[in-house]
Structure 1
């Protein structure tokens, strides 16, 4: 592989990674956008990335026709893309299928199933000798009830293709099923595990896990969507879980045949035993990848781009500390009144970066999802405990006021 290769990258929402790639790979980056994502690509971001060639996929046209149109379009570029990267979890199936039709490296249809369908994923985990929570596919409240009768309440109910805890519910009894339409999507139920929940991210090249970085979670994702502190802390100090993380991820990578990319996995540690949760072959959500860069002192986004370009990344670490992303609350929908400034946040102990996604006067919509936020702050410290304490101080001092939108006054007759 040469440094001259061009990357085709799915771009369905602004992120730190896509902004980094837009800056660093000018002339070697082509964006793949889907017509249905236009509302998620704000005007300022479109202007920011206007210097890059972008192909828009028409989602009402057969994929084969769009791939043919893309190949003809790409042939007119100075260099057509020869590598592919999809950072988007919900677009895995359509994006990887498009890459296949375009003749680019891609996940196979079966691999997409194994990293998107959580029931199929857990079945493969068990085939690979890993423990998982008990689980079952369900289509009715009665099936959920029978599962709970065998394994006990609470249980966790989720669509098999959910992400960021969207439409994921912890059920404490049959009454919690009220209002959930189990006929609308493919659902699964699993036992609610205790113990400690951890995350691990890894880079893969030529089927080899190059390194793996653990993250602590002060609060579980299902608690986060109900209002708990929303944070992840990369543990660069060696105080992570007593698990061979590279070997854990390597077992899954080998067992699924994944050749390259960024993997993000969640697992539980219960009485010293690992229970595999879920894995995604794409960048972790929120600002988790950036946490690893702050914790280990290296260019994490550059290393990630390297593996998608088929090159071995520079993993020379210059730092060893704990670093986390604290998502700042977005308490409701309406219009932002006042909000703590970025400068104030940067002046708080341990804060090394901060981004506000909203400003006074903006209309905002809160969602029940683990990435619901008004912005984020990166906080560093010598231990997980110190970082968490500093995060809680930021939350204590951060203020955001969201005023409900008023209905227009009636027009007099």
Structure 2
């Protein structure tokens, strides 16, 4: 790879990865932004990244036309981008199509379908010889009830292109269907699996899985959106699941023809057997990638940038411990009245980093999503149990008060 190669990166929300890339590649990074994401890009973040060239894709304009405009714009840069990275799950289809039109490395339309349409994804898993939960596409509540009649309640109902558990529901019986509007989206239903749910992340270059890092989840995502502790713990110790994770991800990567990138997968371990859940070819959500850096003692974001730039990263690990991201609660919508300070969080046992996304006086909107949070803390320990215990200690000491909008409006100035 030529060290002068430039990366075009989709930027639809501030993240640890994009901030790292902005610092690490000040002369070799170009941002691709979609006009519809402007509300998700705060003014302070736009100022923070103002030194980087950014191309805005306009709303309502044919993508082929925007790609032609981009190519003319990029030709005026000192070095036009030759590589592409999309960290965004919901932008996958639009971003990869844009990269194709711009003449950059990209996922094909079929690959995007396989990593975004969860029914197509599970069908491919089965073609590759992997077990999955029973599943079916559904168009009506009658379809859901027929499925449950064959496979039993509870079931999990979700849009085929959902992410972060948005609009995903665990239904205990037919009485819970009335509250859900299937509308015009494409939906699927699947059986609810028991066992232990795990995550695994991997880096891929030239079709090869370079390494894979497991994560434990103290609580399942569907429990998280209903109020359970929101955390992931990278397991750099002997507590990792008894599964050849590199081989597992390699089977899928090969079966989907993925050439390079970061993959994030969920799977279930039931009586020693692996059941494939879902996979995304983009960075994991929340702060999961950073967990791996803390757990193994290496530059995980630098290694990720390397594979997107076509280079083989140096995966030299200096640590072997457990490290997790604890998402701090955001209990409702309104205005922040009080919140524990970052300094106080950093003083708690095992906390090595903390970020607050909101402060006193800020307006906030809570969402039913697995990434709903007021901030996060990275917590380390010698075992999964120690990290989880320390996380619960943080939650016990963390305070946030949100005044509902109507109450805040009623307080005299």
TM normalised by structure 1 equals: 0.98
* Cα offset, 1:273, TM superposition: 0.1
The Cα of 1:238 is off from its aligned counterpart by 2.5
Residue 221 of structure 2 is aligned to residue 221 of structure 1: yes
Partner-residue secondary structure (3-state), 2:21 = helix
Alignment of 1:257-272 (within 5 A): 257-272=257-272
Q: Does 1:346 align with 2:346?
A: yes
1:409 Cα deviation (Å)? 7.5
Tell me how far apart the structure 2 counterparts of residues 166 and 386 of structure 1 sit (CA, whole Å): 30
Alignment match, 2:329: 329
- Partners of 1:266 and 1:119 lie apart in 2 by 15
Shift of 1:184: 2.3
Q: Verify the 8 A CA contact 2:74 2:80 in the aligned structure 1.
A: yes
Residue 182 (structure 1) shift: 1.2
Q: Say whether residues 1:210 and 2:210 are aligned partners.
A: yes
Give me the whole-angstrom Cα distance separating, in 2, the residues matched to 1:182 and 1:405. 30
- Indicate how the Cα distance of structure 1 residues 174 and 80 shifts in structure 2: closer, same or farther if over 3 A, else same: same
- Distance in 1 between the 2:277 and 2:400 partners? 34
For the aligned residue pairs, the C-alpha RMSD in angstroms reads 0.9
Counterpart in the other structure of 2:173 = 173
5+ residue gaps in structure 2? none
State how far apart, in whole Å, the 2-side matches of 1:329 and 1:177 are.
Answer: 28
Q: The residue matched to 1:59 in structure 2 has which SS?
A: coil
In 2, the alpha carbon distance for the partners of 1:168 and 1:91 equals 19
Q: Distance in 1 between matches of 2:176 and 2:139?
A: 16
Partner of residue 283, structure 1:
283
Runs of 4+ in 1 over 4 A off after TM superposition: 407-410
- In structure 2, the residue matched to 1:38 is 38
1:389 lines up with 2:395 in the alignment: no
The answer for the alignment partner of 2:7 in structure 1 is 7
Q: Which whole-Å CA distance do the structure 1 matches of 2:315 and 2:409 have between them?
A: 60
1:50 matched to 2:56: no
Q: Does 1:137 align with 2:137?
A: yes
Query: Compared with structure 1, are the counterparts of its residues 409 and 62 closer, same or farther at alpha carbon in structure 2 (3 Å cutoff)?
Result: closer
- Alpha-carbon offset, residue 188 of structure 1: 0.1
Post-superposition offset of 1:408: 8.8
Query: Whole-Å Cα distance in 1 between the matches of residues 59 and 245 of structure 2?
Result: 39
Deviation by residue 1:110-156 (Cα, 9 ceiling, x = unmatched): 00000000000000000000000000000000000000000000000
Partner of 2:300: 300
Query: Which residue number corresponds to residue 127 of structure 1?
Result: 127
CA distance in 2, matches of 1:408, 1:373: 21
Shift of 1:403: 0.6
Query: CA shift at 1:183, angstroms?
Result: 2.6
Residues of 2 paired with 1:258 and 1:152: CA distance?
A: 35
For the Cα contact (< 8 Å) 2:335–2:408, is it kept in 1? Answer: no
Q: Does residue 356 in structure 1 map to residue 356 in structure 2?
A: yes
Quote the residue 1:90 is aligned against: 90
Shift of 1:181: 1.4
- d(CA) in 2 for partners of 1:147 and 1:136? 8
**Alpha-carbon distance in structure 2 between the residues aligned to 1:289 and 1:194:** 26
* Equivalent-residue separation in structure 2 for 1:72 and 1:314 (angstroms): 36
Counterpart residue number, 2:110: 110
Cα offset for 1:178? 1.6
Separation in 2 of the partners of 1:405 and 1:198? 38
- Greater shift after overlay, 152-161 or 182-191? 182-191
Q: Secondary structure at the match of 1:406?
A: helix
1:282 Cα deviation from its structure 2 partner: 0.1
What is the rounded CA distance, in whole Å, between the counterparts of 2:266 and 2:4 in structure 1? Answer: 35
Q: Report the alpha carbon displacement of residue 175 of structure 1 after superposing the two structures with TM.
A: 1.2
Q: Secondary structure at the match of 2:405?
A: coil
Structure 2: how far apart are the matches of 1:144 and 1:109?
A: 29
Judge conservation of contact 1:140–1:183 (CA < 8 Å) in 2.
Answer: no
- Secondary structure (helix, strand or coil) at the match of 1:330 reads coil
SS where residue 246 of structure 2 aligns? helix
In structure 1, C-alpha distance between the alignment counterparts of 2:118 and 2:59, rounded to whole Å: 25
Partner deviation per Cα, 1:310-366 (whole Å, 9 max, x = no partner): 000110000000000000000000000000000000000000000000000000000
**Hey, what's the Cα distance between the residues in 2 that align with 1:153 and 1:238?**
35
Which residue matches 1:255? 255
Distance (whole Å) between structure 1 residues aligned to residue 256 and residue 383 of structure 2: 34
| Partner secondary structure for residue 95 of structure 1 | helix
**Displacement of 1:180 after TM fit?**
1.3
Secondary structure (helix, strand or coil) at the match of 2:179 reads coil
Partner of 1:370: 370
Residues 241-266 of structure 1, C-alpha deviations (whole Å, 9 max, x = no match): 00000000000000000000000000
